[in-house]
Structure 1
Amino acid sequence: MKVDQVKKLHQKKYRSELGYCLVEGEHLLLELEKTTIEGCQLFVTESHADWNSRFRKTVIGERQMAQISDTKSPQGMVAIVPMDALLASRGGQERCLYLHEVQDPGNLGTILRTLAWFGGWRCLLSPGSVDPFNPKVIRSSMGAIFHVPIELDVELDSLSQRFERIATLDMQGAPLANAGQSSHDCFVFGNEARGVPREALAAMQATPYTIAGCGAIESLNLASAVNMCVYELARG
């Protein structure tokens, strides 16, 4: 791929059209090199020309790097990665986490990092959710996006057809510690501001759990709630 095409990958419509996303920086590229993903192309500046990579490497100038970089201070290393290699087909054996219309790239990246840390999870994203191939998501995932199976455009009303036991968080639910003793197939979390439509949760007969707190504030950050939930499930 040429530099002019790589620049377009900053925009979702071109990522979808060309089938690639951008991965930038030494840490993320080291994580990428550990995977079995093929078909990547690496762009480096002269100062990184000796970087040892299994991918096809192209040396470009500092000015060109600034054009394709998504950060204010380019690190001199950018790879393009086929998005199909990061998507999962249905039917895996992992426990599933479903995110309904999640909007914040930092939240999604942090959630992917948590799922990768504990392992054995896949992430299902509803239509209208933030693009997981947004460079901000990829950076905040710290490479976890390479290790967590992701499904896109999973409709909320399809979950009850796919999973027998679904759980969610609710202030009136049972203690979260109880969830670790149960064999739920899918845990549902909602939009940062609106949550999950209650009528949809009722239709799928989702079991509610709660994270007990002192009540000094109204709610937890979405990523924090997911972190606590996944940790509790791992303990159970």
Structure 2
Amino acid sequence: MMSGGDEAMRSNISFLPLSRQHCKWIRKLHQKKYRRKEKLFIAEGLNSFHAAVKTPHHTISEIIVDHDFADKVRDNPSLFPLSPEIPVYECSRDEMESLSSEETPQGIVIVCHQKEFLVNETTTGKMSDPLIYCEETSDPGNLGIIIRSSAWFGFNRILIGPFCVDPFNTKVIRSSAGTIFGVEVYQSIHRDVIIELADRAGYTLIAAVPAGGIPLHQCEKSEKNIIMFGHESKGLSRHLAERADRRISIPGCGTVESLNLSVAASIILYEFAVQLGRF
């Protein structure tokens, strides 16, 4: 038997029916052109939900849950610590599967506003060291892991080139394990802007290259750095690689040709975190 307080908590949670037209509109947000048009994106699962609730960067527009998840919330309203102004829609399992990009949907999809971060004189003065720049990362999993590793090591400003995969791609968000809600992602930043930023604000440009660079552990510390990562197979553009103040590589002793981009980025970010005394 529920107490009066429990009954009150349950009565405050209202689930709206999800119409077919609304369901169709949400599915469109899996496409980049609609995400940009609406300035919204989809995230899935409780990790993303709790991350979105805790951070102000990308506020929740609405929530969709399936019948099973809704029943869990009715039994335990504390699962949903959110403002009553946010609409919550209830749908069937089949509808949830049509909305989700996961093989086994967790029963909750959230639609969030995309907050736009701009590189200007004001933000430059507040930017932490180092900044992370992904010039042309094409694989959603790699970009998501780079975002996750950046957040883990306390580097919360990530600049994304115009030819990168969309950071609000559902697979990127899933690979980031919700950490995209806690970092600042600056989109469509051309390499020329990176060079101009370095010149104007006194950053050292550090290019991560597969081979031929300074061994990572021998790289001299600078007060301000922009660490640059390129395409998975092509690497950084020649323009950026040649313009870099330093080129770094991770020494290896095995027989493989190279490291996966996100693995290499994580190792490099760890080394810089150590140099900055973050442990």
TM-score scaled by structure 2? 0.78
Aligned to 2:59: 38
Over 3 Å counting, the alpha-carbon distance change for 1:158 and 1:180 in structure 2 is same
Which residue of 96, 100, 124 corresponds with 2:159? Answer: 124
1:52 counterpart = 2:80:
yes
Which residue of 133, 137, 153 corresponds with 1:98? Answer: 133
8 Å contact 1:70–1:135 — kept in the other structure? yes
Aligned to 2:113: 82
Aligned to 2:34: 14
8 Å contact 2:156–2:182 — kept in the other structure? no
Over 3 Å counting, the alpha-carbon distance change for 1:120 and 1:169 in structure 2 is closer
Shift of 1:192: 0.5
Over 3 Å counting, the alpha-carbon distance change for 1:213 and 1:45 in structure 2 is same
Q: Give the % identical residues.
A: 32
Shift of 1:168: 1.1
For 2:143 and 2:252, the matched residues in 1 are separated by 23
Runs of 5+ consecutive residues of structure 2 not aligned to the other structure: 1-17, 74-78
SS at match of 1:136: helix
Structure 1 stretches of at least 4 aligned residues deviating more than 6 Å after TM superposition: none
Shift of 1:40: 2.3
Residue deviations 1:50-92, cap 9 Å, x none?
24241431222223222211123222110001112xx422224
Over 3 Å counting, the alpha-carbon distance change for 1:197 and 1:120 in structure 2 is closer
SS at match of 2:213: strand
Counterparts of residues 55-74 of structure 1 (less than 5 Å): 55-74=86-105
Aligned to 1:176: 216
Over 3 Å counting, the alpha-carbon distance change for 1:180 and 1:226 in structure 2 is farther
8 Å contact 1:43–1:57 — kept in the other structure? yes
For 2:175 and 2:148, the matched residues in 1 are separated by 8
For 1:53 and 1:65, the matched residues in 2 are separated by 22
Which residue of 249, 256, 261 corresponds with 1:222? Answer: 261
Shift of 1:14: 1.1
8 Å contact 2:41–2:111 — kept in the other structure? yes
- For 1:93, the aligned partner's letter is M
8 Å contact 1:98–1:123 — kept in the other structure? yes
- For 1:75, the aligned partner's letter is Q
Shift of 1:127: 1.1
Which residue of 153, 172, 185 corresponds with 2:225? Answer: 185
For 1:205 and 1:4, the matched residues in 2 are separated by 46
For 1:180 and 1:133, the matched residues in 2 are separated by 34
For 1:147 and 1:112, the matched residues in 2 are separated by 10
Query: Radius of gyration: which is bigger?
Result: 2
SS at match of 2:50: helix
Over 3 Å counting, the alpha-carbon distance change for 1:26 and 1:121 in structure 2 is closer
- For 2:144, the aligned partner's letter is G
Residue deviations 1:190-223, cap 9 Å, x none?
1001011223322x24311221111522211111
8 Å contact 1:167–1:184 — kept in the other structure? no
RMSD of aligned alpha carbons? 1.8
SS at match of 1:40: strand
What is the count of residue pairs matched by the alignment? Answer: 233
Shift of 1:173: 2.1
SS at match of 2:263: helix
For 1:69 and 1:107, the matched residues in 2 are separated by 20
For 1:106 and 1:52, the matched residues in 2 are separated by 28
SS at match of 1:172: coil
Over 3 Å counting, the alpha-carbon distance change for 1:199 and 1:27 in structure 2 is closer
For 1:120 and 1:33, the matched residues in 2 are separated by 21
Which residue of 190, 205, 208 corresponds with 2:247? Answer: 208
Runs of 5+ consecutive residues of structure 1 not aligned to the other structure: none
SS at match of 1:142: coil
